[in-house]
Structure 1
Amino acid sequence: IIDSLTKQGIPGVSVHITGTTHTVQTDKDGKFGFVTGQIFPYTLELKHVAYQTKIFIADGSPVLISLSENTSQLNDVVIVGYGTRTRKDLVGAVTKIDPKSTQTIPEGSFDAQLQGKTPGVQIATNAGIPGQDVFIRVRGATSINGNNSPLYIIDGVYINSSSLQNITQDRTPSPIADINPSDIESVEILKDATATAIYGSRGANGVIIITTKGGKYNSKAKVNLSASAGFGYNAPERNKYWELTTGEEFATLINEYNTNMGQKLYFRPTSEGGAGLPAEQKTYDRMAYVWRTAQLGDYNVSVDGGGENTNYYLGIGHNAQQSIWNPIDFQRTSGKFNLTTKLSNKVSIGSNNTVSAVFRNPAKAANGPDGTILQSSLNIPSNLPIFDEKGTPLIWGTPDNITVITDDSNIKSKTARYIGNLFVNVDFSDKFKFKS
């Protein structure tokens, strides 16, 4: 395999026979070979990070294949702290992410959608709770006790997440969960010191720059609609890991224990002072108060366009995510309005505005009054009623009643947030531009 321009062999090209598991890489001279029983012709898929992927039909051996450089990636415009650069001219370590590759992932927060999309960046969800803080390490752990999270900048505005940390007790919300992923145009992650130096100590843990969408000059109004809905259902997994006894099965086991210990049967006729025969015992499913069929929905509408001197973007979205674990819930309703106007060929002004209303119910990270939700649903005998005849929760010792623990974990919060700025762009020359 050779370069189409230099005619030199390309090492490290991945060569795969489609429809099989056979994959090899080219050596330092660009040569490769297969030990396979495949009969010609067969289709080869060739991949290399610096070259365009190519499909080649081999009808014999040897073959000579040329690859073209992937110049489109090198010409990508990357936003850094001091302006924009093309990737081929960029020295610092910067990762650019196309939101189109992540927006179909059913996560309420954009940082959670980045998992597996950012080479060299460690990303993991802490608890799997929608809208909660995501573990992100761009430059590793720079402090033992201090904050190791990166700095977030949205349309030039520094995002402060500390003001949100106390609204849900010991669970920290994601600082960008209030942002609708459908409104995001691009994301750049600045990793090394040369890229983050302009931000000083605040950029010591790396910087994530988020740019939201805007309109285009001299373009007709374009309406975009997107909607998705689904549900989460975990009954098969629940039954796989926790196969609980019925009321009758529990009573039968207790009677077997009584017999083995030489004791009087506990579950005997009530006329004899017992709790009733095993067949008379009802089954009370406490797990039904924990697990549920979770509903998911994401709905967005936007309009963008522009005239000769003005462009605009208007977007409205609603995202709702329930957890299969009751009572965890997350809902976000957001609005976005960006406007830019040219005052002259060199001067333009504009405004970026984001408004969001977020409802969170992350539940407690700690235990309930007397034991956890899971302990109460698993450890209380299934023949014991959950409520008395008046509907009052019954407590059978520790752990507490499942409904009491669930209600205690019902930690609701509502937040309203505005992120916005006014800016002035002045183009002094092609190489010198100013933006306030």
Structure 2
Amino acid sequence: MSVTNLFLCSIALFAGIVSSQVNNATLGSGERGQLNIEVRDTISVELSRLTTILEHRMNIKLNTLSHEIRQELRGIKKRLEADGFQNTEVQDSSSSSSSSSSSSSSPRHLSKHLNRADHELHKHEDKMVKLRRRFQSAINRISNTMSSFTEIQKDMVEEDLRDFSQETTEMLENIYTFALNQVNELTAISRHARSRMMEKVRARNCKELLRQGRNESGVYTINIEGMEPKNVYCDQETGGGGWTVFLARLEEVEIHEDFTRNMAQYVRGFGEAGAEYWLGLDTLHTLTKENPYELLVEMRWKEHTAFSRYGTFSVGGPFGGPDDVGGYRLNVRDYDQSSSGGDGMKPHHGKPFSTVDVDHDDIADMSCSNWKGGGGWWFANCFNSNPTGLYPTPDLNLEEFLGDVVFEWMAWELKHEQIDDLIFKIRPR
């Protein structure tokens, strides 16, 4: 039962008792409106019972509402802090000044807004305390004057209680409306600020995304200075997460990606993150040219799995670049001897990248890319690993080819010709 309904029922019951007792009681001579002792005792008992009920219900209602508002405000504060809104300003890497729209949702502004909402809530709680005092005062006033009730005074008390009930109800409605508006406004600000924060804090790789709280594996967008945003698949679970996948060959895809591409396509990248794809030589060079990275290669054949891990991985720049002798040369070292997949990258260290149209392998009179399935790789003479070769689909006739054309990792003993999945992922050290 609502506080309003409880007041109205109490008033009706109170009025009924007074009317019944006035009509049936024996009144003293010359004192037409005075209630006798029996009437006063009956009203006193009933009024005491109703007072207890009203005070109990109103206290529960007000305390519950106050608790819910405070819980909601605390929840919003925690969500804002989880989104990164603490007492430090976030600097935009692409701009030295903030726009007016971003400043309106800065951590300092949000903190000020929350403090104002908390202050307003305290003001309404003070009003609730005063309301309880007024209610008790009204009850005491009724009790003190009850011995001289007349029919007219009964009507006045009923009207007083109705006014008091209406005022109480309006106060509760105002408190609820205030709390609801504050919650809606703060929720909207939180969403807008989160969006602005994500625009400012542009992650360069999956490890930076992990630090921002993106701890679920999946497709994300990374932003590298001087380059267009790129979609990548992030492994946020293996070995603490933070791995950026740059090459994926997967069995369970509807259509296998064609890795027979020219140099320009391998430089730019192709495929779809979350399925089979190649991130791109330019992206690999930009990511690894300043920060040391590590490499993890994962492979699967049916229920068998293995991995090969390297402590150092980087890709040089193109031919003619200021920081490299050319060809997107591979730097891969520090093989982890505890790996179960073998060292399939050792012969490829220091080699430039080759494709079907640009041949930089160690064999003078032939192209490893053309001979080994058409994929691009850091071919030597020719490979210990060929992850960009043809995928052995059921309709692929291997007798049409002269050599090993399917993708493989020859260092994985007894299983290198039968790989189902092969994934290359890197992470800043």
TM-score where L is the length of structure 2: 0.22
Larger fraction in strand = 1
Larger Rg: 2
TM-score where L is the length of structure 1: 0.22
